[in-house]
Amino acid sequence: MLIMVLYPCVSAQESVSVFLDQNYQKTDSVNASIKRTIVFEDGRYVLKDQTPDGEMLHYGTYISFNPWVEHGMAEHYVEPGILYSYGKYELGNLAGEWVYLIGKERHVVDYDFHKHISPEEGCLTLLEEMKEQRRDDDQRIKVGNALRDFFNQEMVLPARTLDRSDGFFAYIDFIIDPSGVIRCPMVIGINDRDLVLEMERVVHRFRYPGKLRRMFKVRFSIFQEGSRVLSENDGDVIYILVEDPPAFQGDLEKFIRDNLVYPEAARQRGAYGRVVVNFVVEPDGSVSNVIAPLMVDPLLNQEAIRLIQTTRWNPGRIRGDPVRVHVNVVVPFDLGY
């Protein structure tokens, strides 16, 4: 969203304004979509983007524009005048408490969580040495399902991730001990530091509620196709997070177990794994746009898609109204099943 526009030097107590078009290119006041104002105060640049009518689009505090380095309070808006999140940055990084306004819900998250966690030594070695044991697949699946549900409840998407993301696929490797506490989490596959921090925050809050036989390693996958759109004026909008998320009509784990048909050809060649299926739950509870973005095995992917296409859901809702919501489900294929 913040595309580089060259400015004259802004000295103390000075203010500079420039008019921009919808592509963040300089224009005149008649053709402008954005009025950008920069004020230099207390050694920082305060930037405000507003519509010509004065509705806020963005507010940020910077110590540098080349490169862009946010340092101080910021506000992010999803639409003119509609606030999505606010908090502070420290040298370009999310810091302290951030507030996210999603639907009618107010979510407060703490990005200083890592300051209260004692770092573990030898995590890379432990993750490498902790090989997955097939006899633990049932518990690994249960932990993965519990963590998936926890992510759906707890995770928010940082505003800068929404602005610059066309989607992501990431793994989180971790060790879970018999008490249900996650150790040595490591996010793999993305370079978005805001998103990595948010994933780490959620993982560190998770506690598995059941009993585990022993410590083992888990690889958890998380995928998102495209950025969340929060406009409520377009029937084609697909939401990622809503105040009342979609719910499967029944026991999803039991449904998968009872209705999964393991392709015989895949079984014979020893193909197994967990297929991530992404889809949209429509306002009537049906599913659409069913895809398996990461290839595990052609036959396993095909069966996972077929299975999800037969599901029915209670739709997600915003302010009580059903909306289209993006959902992902992991379908496990276990040769021992």
Q: Residue 141: enclosing H or E segment and its boundaries?
A: helix 137-154
- 20 and 45 inside one domain: yes
CATH number assigned to the domain comprising residue 144: 3.30.1150
Neighbours of 46 (CB within 10 A): 18
Determine the 3-state secondary structure of 200 from DSSP. Answer: helix
In a domain, 3, yes or no: no
What's 13's DSSP letter? T
- 308 and 333 inside one domain: yes
Whole-number Å distance between alpha carbons of 61 and 44: 7
- 320 and 259 inside one domain: yes
Region 156-171: mean pLDDT is 76
* pLDDT attached to residue 237: 64
Whole-number Å distance between alpha carbons of 262 and 209: 30
* pLDDT attached to residue 262: 94
CATH number assigned to the domain comprising residue 307: 3.30.2420
- 33 and 52 inside one domain: yes
Whole-number Å distance between alpha carbons of 91 and 68: 10
Beta bridge partners of 86: 75, 99
Determine the 3-state secondary structure of 154 from DSSP. Answer: helix
In a domain, 75, yes or no: yes
Task: Give the residue carrying structure tokens 């022993």.
Answer: 214
Burial class of residue 262 (count of CB atoms within 10 Å of its CB; 0-12, 13-18, 19+): middle
- Of 205, 227, 249, which residue constitutes the final position of a domain? 227
In a domain, 138, yes or no: yes
pLDDT at 203 > cutoff 70: yes
- 162 and 234 inside one domain: no
In a domain, 10, yes or no: no
pLDDT at 221 > cutoff 60: yes
**Token digits of residue 12:** 């103390």
Whole-number Å distance between alpha carbons of 314 and 322: 9
Burial class of residue 265 (count of CB atoms within 10 Å of its CB; 0-12, 13-18, 19+): exposed
Predicted TM-score (pTM) of the model is 0.64
Q: How many domains does the chain have?
A: 3
pLDDT band for position 177 (50/70/90)?
A: confident
Cα–Cα distances (Å) from 90 to 6, 10, 177, 311, in that order, read 24, 22, 34, 45
Pair 47, 37: CB distance under 8 Å? yes
- 143 and 235 inside one domain: no
- 155 and 236 inside one domain: no
pLDDT at 235 > cutoff 50: no
Q: What's the pLDDT tens digit per position in 5-57?
A: 444 455 545 788 899 988 888 999 899 999 999 998 888 899 999 999 899 99
In a domain, 277, yes or no: yes
Host domain of residue 23: 15-111
- 99 and 166 inside one domain: no
In a domain, 96, yes or no: yes
- 215 and 243 inside one domain: no
- Of 78, 95, 111, which residue constitutes the final position of a domain? 111
- Of 66, 92, 111, which residue constitutes the final position of a domain? 111
In a domain, 280, yes or no: yes
Q: List the end-to-end C-alpha distance of the chain, in Å, as a whole number.
A: 49
pLDDT at 284 > cutoff 70: yes
- 214 and 249 inside one domain: no
- 239 and 315 inside one domain: yes
Cα–Cα distances (Å) from 142 to 64, 166, 169, 265, 275, in that order, read 47, 30, 21, 27, 15
- 26 and 107 inside one domain: yes
pLDDT band for position 232 (50/70/90)?
A: very low
Region 151-175: mean pLDDT is 79
In a domain, 2, yes or no: no
- The better pLDDT of the pair 110, 118 is held by 110
**Token digits of residue 317:** 């809702």
* pLDDT attached to residue 305: 94
